[in-house]
Amino acid sequence: MTTYARIGFIGLGVMGEPICRNLVRKSGAHVVAFDLAPEPLARLREEGGSVARSVAEVVAGSDIVFLCLPSAKHVHSVFGGDGIEKNIRKGQIVVDLGTSSIKLTRDFARQLQACGAAWADAPIARTRQAALDGTLSVMVGATVELFGSIEPLIRCFATDVTLCGDVGAGQVTKILNNMVLFQTVNALAEAVAVARRNGVDPKLLLETLSKGSADSFALRNHGLKAIVPGNFPERAFSTEYALKDLSYALELAAEAGIRIRGAELVGEVLREAIEAGSGGAYFPVIAKHIDGA
């Protein structure tokens, strides 16, 4: 299904591990992975993947390298030193699945282009369950030619794959997706708090809203599955990561000369939750702090 015989994968976290597992199962290629934690590497080896001892070893042993890391800071750490930049070869491709800085994304792409290699941003959306099921949505920034060559591999773990434009466009689209999501979750949290204080059952409220114009993916997932039951686990999409992604949207708006006051307000809500000790919890935990109960 692909011309890439050897796939590298860096970052076996909450989303990265199931994505990599789907590549092992469906790509028909040899997959070699690296992570700082030994447990996901051991599980991947059981699935038939190989384990590398370093980022350099992944790059050296791959035709294409996928990154699934938490932030631009982490991407920068594997790019420099004895990492991607030092070991990349002409013709290799790096695909970044995380949500990251647009400026850094375009800087990395220029540096790889100078080496005869290529960088594509392909941030992922949807839930961990979607990563497990291989039904993620992926927003790609790449040339048309590069997109055509990597799309079959991305479809090993995604059902919706959209070319959003040249390098960086995938990041712009994903950042704005998250900005809208955070504001929607904040609205749901406020609605639940007001309903509870006025004698209306929060579950009934959201189930009823789901039958009308207020329905959304956020309502059915973040609202009914997290806010209503008070389920805000660690090792999910944390409040700190949410604020990080929102900061990218605020930077984009500032550079465009636009003030996005709704996003600014949600940024304050996220900061307050972090200051109250919920930085590592699943970000709909803002509902707990809005309600105060």
- Residue 103 known to be catalytic: no
| DSSP state letters, the chain | --S-SEEEEE--STTHHHHHHHHHHHS-SEEEEE-S-HHHHHHHHHHT-EE-SSHHHHHHT-SEEEE--SSHHHHHHHHSSSSHHHH--TT-EEEE-S---HHHHHHHHHHHHHTT-EEEE--EES-HHHHHHT-EEEEEES-HHHHHHHHHHHTTTEEEEEEEESTTHHHHHHHHHHHHHHHHHHHHHHHHHHHHHTT--HHHHHHHHTTTTT--HHIIIIIIIIITTT---SSSSBHHHHHHHHHHHHHHHHHHT---HHHHHHHHHHHHHIIIIITTSBGGGHHHHHH--
Per annotation, catalytic residue among 86, 174, 211, 225 = 174
Comparing CA positions, the residue from 166, 180, 162 lying closest to residue 249 is 180
Say how far apart CA 161 and CA 151 lie, in whole Å: 7
Q: Which two tokens stand for residue 203?
A: 């579950």
Say how far apart CA 17 and CA 13 lie, in whole Å: 6
Annotated catalytic residues are 174
